[in-house]
Amino acid sequence: MVSKSPWIFGYGSLMWRPDFPFVQSRIGYIRGWRRVFWQGSTDHRGTPDAPGRVVTIIADERENCIGMAYHIAPERYGETIEILDYREKGGYRLEVLPVVFENNEQVFASVYIATPDNPEFLGQAEPEKIARQISTSRGPSGPNDEYVIKLARALRKIGANDPHVFEVERWVRSLKI
Ligand code: SIN
């Protein structure tokens, strides 16, 4: 069954800080996508002089990206997208992708993705290097390492394993000491 009501899928900060009105949240995944700390952040977790790193997703047919899907009341969808367009303005654009729930039900959801053509995209690096950058960055939304730790916590809370996020988290924690 395909739902006609709007959904938003979050895989990064939108998992642990949705900060918009929704009527229901459900664990779901998008097939063929992988979460990576490849997006630079100059407006939330870093500055233009010292960008932080936050997650985006890249197409990878071997992977599924687990996250949280939020069901939005149709009359609140417009204002919600306005809030999120502003929040995610640092390189993300909205795409619509199929999200699969644990019971195999599927919906289409709006997802914010930062693609390699955006000016803040940083791309691939070794997890240690990513963590070193993160551990020294902070921006208007707070320290960059807090983003990593909260994302890892949100993933554990729903029983998800994301080796890339957990490896960056391990490095970040070790650099904190
Ligand atoms: C998301 O959470 O879905 C987008 C990336 C972010 O805001 O961290």
Q: Which of 160, 133, 152, 174 is nearest to 46 (CA)?
A: 133
Helix (H, G, I), strand (E, B) or coil at 161: coil
Best residue for ligand 1 mutational test, from 66, 88, 99, 168 (most atoms within 8 Å of Cβ): 88
Show the tokens assigned to 175: 């650099």
State yes or no: is 102 an active-site residue: no
Domain ranges of the chain: 7-176
Quick one: which atom of ligand 1 is closest to the CA of 56? 5
Residue 91 near ligand 1, beta carbon < 6 Å? no
The tens digit of pLDDT for each residue in 42-55 reads 999 999 999 999 99
> Residue 59: which of 99, 122, 123, 115 has the closest Cα?
115
**Residues 6+ away with beta carbon under 8 Å from 101:** 26, 27, 28, 69, 107
Does any ligand 1 atom lie closer than 6 A to the CB of residue 33? no
pLDDT digits (tens, 9 = 90+) for 78-134: 999 999 999 999 999 999 999 999 999 999 999 999 999 999 999 999 999 999 999
Is the pLDDT assigned to residue 36 strictly greater than 50? yes
- Distant-in-sequence, close-in-space partners of 102: CB < 8 Å, separation ≥ 6: 26, 27, 28
Cβ of 55 less than 6 Å from ligand 1? yes
Atom of ligand 1 nearest to the CA of 9: 3
* Geometric angle at alpha carbon 151, from 147 and 154, rounded to 5°: 140
pLDDT at 136 over 80: yes
DSSP state of 116: T
Write down the CATH number for the domain with range 7-176.
3.10.490.10
Label residue 2 by pLDDT band (50, 70, 90).
very low
pTM of model > 0.75: yes
